[in-house]
Amino acid sequence: MKTLLSLGTLALLGLNLQPAFAGTAADSYNLVEKGRYLAVLGDCTACHTVPGQAPFSGGVAIETPFGKLVGANITPDPETGLGRWSFEDFLAVMSTGHSRGGKRLYGAMPFTAYTKVRREDNLALWAYLQTLQPVHNPVETNQLPFPFSVRTSLIGWNWLNFTQGEFVPAPDKSAQWNRGAYLVEGLGHCGTCHTPKNLIGGDDNDHFLAGANLQGWVAPDITANSHSGIGQWSTEDLVQYLKTGANRFDIASGPMAEAVENSTQHWTDEDLLAVAVYLKDGAAGKASPAPVAATDAAMVAGKAIYADRCSACHVSSGAGVKNLFPTLAAAPLVNNDDPTSLIRVVLAGSRAGGTDAAPTTPAMPSFAWNLSDDNIADVLTYVRNTWGNAAAPVTTSQVADLRKELAQ
Ligand code: HEC
Ligand code: HEC
Ligand code: HEC
């Protein structure tokens, strides 16, 4: 027997599931299993489960530029979780960002993406959440400093940043493309990290997926732009990256490594392929700028510094070493209009996987102490304009500014 749900659980699920799901126990089993998978697609765990603690009992701290928010307890505990909620209460959170009783939620709960989730998928998610072990764990989600802690300040925020409504399929696209769009724009909430933010922390949707600075990390451009985005990746490259966290171009670190671990590695191949098809189909975007000439003084100086300080790891062709040293040739991050993250990596160094990485993981050394601002500007100008790359030169003052900022 596959049916795991008792009649008691069914009664619990009853609520608004009538009459569409008034069917058999097998129907509700399928509904719960579907919901379980949808929770993986949405990576609810990332913000609602502290590793090692009861699933979805809340307490994960989320750093934002404005301060700290904490993921809520979403187990069916009546006092501290969603035990007294109806499906309509849950639906309101997902589609409008209003919590039970009308309280406005912060965008750290990615309802600006989840609003696209279809009602039938929300029914399944809700059915699944109802089967969780109730855990008594009071969580104060709002730990922002004043004035950001005032939820009424969100009225203006929502008005500026938020378009409510379920996903509308594009009639001129394939079912596969539309599935990919539904996942990326909706439950997958890829834009939460990959879309640049405006001054008040909302998504700048004119530049959807064009890359953003997170707290100490850069989520690169993942549009189909062949220059700054993933245009040179095949659909297989994308699927492999999302499935395993690495491919011939890059190794996922930091928040993306976590997203792969909790979420995308568990997606079906069909769904990953749909995502790849959708991402690859975006507008090819702006034309590549012409590379800086190899005879330019900065390029000549940069070439010598590269040979001396960088080529031991990234090799002279810029291709890196598979699974050890990332390629700098045809790398979206390297071609990004904004060189901030490149300058940061060279000044501060970096270790794939963040501070939790095994000490044996190869690291990118810091060059803050032995390369001048001029040196770093030159070597990065060279890296950004060699091996098929082309991007604006890096200036000495850009390096000097970031050096000052990092010193604080
Ligand atoms: C990126 C982090 C993040 C992800 C991913 C996330 N949440 Fe949340 N969620 C939050 C935060 C933070 C809050 C509290 C926001 C607030 O208090 O304004 C919250 C609040 C909620 C609430 C409201 C709880 C209450 O008591 O008001 C529900 C329900 C919820 N989340 C469900 C989900 C589900 C279901 C998923 C997956 C589909 C999910 N969340 C994914 C961060 C996240
Ligand atoms: C929690 C934030 C976060 C979320 C959510 C997220 N990403 Fe990422 N992503 C990142 C970061 C940070 C990187 C850069 C990782 C690195 O430098 O190794 C990245 C890297 C990538 C890359 C590699 C790009 C390159 O040029 O190397 C791809 C592809 C990607 N993400 C796709 C996705 C897709 C598709 C989704 C949604 C299903 C998604 N990401 C959701 C933060 C995120
Ligand atoms: C000892 C080996 C080593 C040397 C020398 C080295 N790097 Fe790195 N570099 C790495 C490793 C390892 C990473 C990956 C770190 C990570 O993902 O956190 C990296 C990452 C980078 C990145 C980010 C690439 C990406 O797509 O995430 C850039 C840019 C970079 N290095 C440039 C340079 C430059 C310029 C020099 C010379 C001034 C240099 N590196 C010298 C090992 C090295």
Q: Where are the domains of the chain?
A: 7-161, 175-280, 297-407
Per residue in 115-144, pLDDT (tens digit) is 999 999 999 999 999 999 999 999 988 877
- Structure tokens belonging to residue 388: 């098929």
Residue 351: enclosing H or E segment and its boundaries? strand 350-351
From 117, 222, 237, 338, the mutation candidate for ligand 2 (largest count of ligand atoms within 8 A of CB) is: 222
Q: Is the peptide bond before 78 cis (omega within 30 degrees of 0)?
A: no
Cβ–ligand 3 distance for 362 under 6 Å, the answer yes
- Structure tokens belonging to residue 268: 């079906």
Count of Cβ atoms closer than 10 Å to residue 26 Cβ: 12
Q: What is the pLDDT of residue 210?
A: 82
Q: Determine if residue 266 is labeled as part of a ligand binding site.
A: no
From 313, 315, 340, the mutation candidate for ligand 3 (largest count of ligand atoms within 8 A of CB) is: 313
Cβ–ligand 1 distance for 367 under 6 Å, the answer no
Q: What is the pLDDT of residue 250?
A: 84
What is the architecture of the domain spanning 175-280?
Orthogonal Bundle (1.10)
Fold that domain 297-407 belongs to in CATH: Cytochrome Bc1 Complex; Chain D, domain 2 (1.10.760)
Give the residue ranges of the chain where pLDDT is below 70: 1-23, 146-161, 198-202, 215-216, 283-288, 351-361
Q: Which residues contact 117 (CB under 8 A, 6 or more apart)?
A: 38, 42, 94, 95, 125, 166, 167, 186, 187
From residue 85, alpha-carbon distances to 75, 79, 81, 82, 203 in Å are 11, 11, 9, 5, 29
Q: Determine if residue 189 is labeled as part of a ligand binding site.
A: no
Cβ–ligand 2 distance for 217 under 6 Å, the answer yes
Q: How far is the CA of 256 from the centre of ligand 2 (A)?
A: 5
Q: What is the pLDDT of residue 90?
A: 98
Q: How far is the CA of 338 from the centre of ligand 2 (A)?
A: 17
- Whole-angstrom Cα distance, residue 94 to residue 381? 45
Cβ–ligand 3 distance for 363 under 6 Å, the answer yes
Judge if 175-280 and 297-407 fold alike in CATH terms.
yes
Q: What is the pLDDT of residue 189?
A: 95
Nearest alpha carbon, ligand 3 atom 13 = 364
How many distinct helices (H) and strands (E) make up the chain?
A: 18, 7
Q: Determine if residue 314 is labeled as part of a ligand binding site.
A: yes
